[in-house]
Amino acid sequence: MRKKLFIISAAVLFFASCEKHNLHQTIENEHVAELVSTNQKSLSYYNISTQVGHTAAECNGCVTINGQHYHVDCQGWGHTCTGSAQLCVASVSGGLYTATTQDSTDLTSEEFFNMPARSLYLGQDPATGEHQWLNIPAQLSIRDSLTRLFTFNGVHFTDYQEYKNQ
């Protein structure tokens, strides 16, 4: 009887751990950042991919411009579209960074991008084995008039997923 109980307990633990692993893999595949390069000036470049946006039926105006509320496809909360970009991440102060797109065609052709709060999985730190995340808080970013690029502020790194990516 004890042997049977042990086998059943071991099977339950095995399948429960597999389920958690599969959930983590899903998060990694939908919201990821990959370090491309770092240069001498403490700038790091990341390729990111994340799911963004929701349907117009779910929205009563996710972007407000001059007092008017608009729905914009493939922007804001949700998982309707996949957005990707190369970001240049630069240190500002106190563990905060800015992240600037490197191509004006990344993310959208609009003059603004409604970035939802996202934690992008970087993988495990080889030195510590801890999971690493690049976190971008929710914000409306307006294109720079000269470079035509978007900059996100308040970007930071953690060893846990800060945002739920909803």
For position 40, what pLDDT does the model report? 62
Output the tens digit of pLDDT for each of the chain's 166 residues. Answer: 544 444 444 444 444 333 333 334 444 467 899 999 887 667 999 999 999 999 888 887 777 778 888 888 899 999 999 999 999 999 998 999 999 999 999 999 999 999 999 999 999 988 899 999 999 999 999 999 999 999 999 999 999 999 999 8
Rounded Cα gap, residues 77 and 115, in angstroms = 8
Give me 11's structure tokens: 């099977």
According to DSSP, the residues that pair with 35 across neighbouring strands are: 46
Rounded Cα gap, residues 149 and 143, in angstroms = 5
Contacts (Cβ under 8 Å, ≥6 apart) of 130: 124, 159
For position 60, what pLDDT does the model report? 79
Rounded Cα gap, residues 21 and 35, in angstroms = 23
Q: What is the pTM of this model?
A: 0.79
Give me 145's structure tokens: 């008039």
Give me 25's structure tokens: 């893999």
Rounded Cα gap, residues 84 and 98, in angstroms = 17
* CB contact burial 37-56 (16+ within 10 A = b; e otherwise): eeeeeeebbbebebbbbbee
For position 152, what pLDDT does the model report? 98
Place of tokens 């960074």: 97
For position 41, what pLDDT does the model report? 63
Domain ranges (residues) in the chain: 1-30, 31-158
In angstroms, what CA-CA distances link 1 with 7, 12, 66? 10, 17, 72
